[in-house]
Each structure stands twice: as structure tokens, then as C-alpha cells.
Amino acid sequence: MEISVRVPTAIDVVEEAVDLVARHCLAAGLPAATARFKLRVALSEALANAIIYGNRNDSEKSVEVRVVVTSQTIAVHVSDEGDGFNPADIPNPTLPDGLEQTSGRGLFLIREMVDEVRFNEKGNSICMMMRRA
């Protein structure tokens, strides 16, 4: 199964987009606990980051969400129209130097919720992989 959703650059639509994707993933056999918690947290954070940091709240831009469900994995791709970033530049918020930082917690949460995280070379697209257990 594959679904694609174009999300406007508006933070108030994140919950609705996450609900839509979660329902489709449940229908495709993603365990309910994973869809109701891990997927929702990871996708919410990725969408918020794409809207706020990637598209810089520019209502002329949008965020593309693509979900690919196979028998082994669920891959959630979130791509914005921004300039991208280097994920290695985001400090770990659990280390002493990161405790006072005002950013980086969303990416940390994403990494905790999913099995694998990849970025494209430009840094404006994240792929979050979850194994089907």
C-alpha cells in the first residue's frame, strides 16, 4: 500500500494529517499501539519541523507525506520545500551542552520512536522506517 498526502504549511492541520495517515496505516495492518503512539509522535514532529523550520511557515509552500507499507516495514517520508539542513548539526538534547538548546528535541523524539531515520542529501526530506512486528 502507498498513500500520499500534500499538507499545507499550517501548523493547525498537523493533527488532521496525522489522523489520516494513522488510519490508513491501521487499515494496512500496523499494530494499533504503534500507530496510536509511535507513528503519531514521529509524524507530528516531522510535520511540525517541515512546516516551521523547512517551509518557514510560508503558506505558499506545502509538505509532502508519502507512506509505503510493505510486509516488513512502514516507511514514512516527509518532504518540505525548504533549503534543508544537516541533521548532524543538531545537538543531542540529552547531553549537557544540549540541555539548554531550544531546538533538536523533535528530531530526538523521532529517532526514539522509529527503527531507522534517513535524510536526503539536501536535508529537506526525512524517511522514518518502522519494522512491522
- pLDDT single digits (tens) 107-133: 999 999 999 999 999 999 999 999 876
Domain ranges of the chain: 2-131
Q: Which of 15, 14, 30 is nearest to 115 (CA)?
A: 30
**Residues 6+ positions from 106 with CB-CB distance below 8 Å:** 45, 46, 48, 49
State the cell numbers at 5.
Answer: 498526502
3-class secondary-structure state, position 23: helix
To the nearest 10°, the Cα dihedral for 67, 120, 106, 45?
-30
Q: How many CB atoms lie within 10 A of CB 37?
A: 12
Q: Which one is the CATH code of 2-131: 3.40.50.300, 1.10.3720.10, 3.30.565.10, 3.65.10.10? A: 3.30.565.10
**Each residue of 43-95: pLDDT tens digit?**
999 999 999 999 999 999 999 999 999 989 999 999 999 999 999 888 778 77
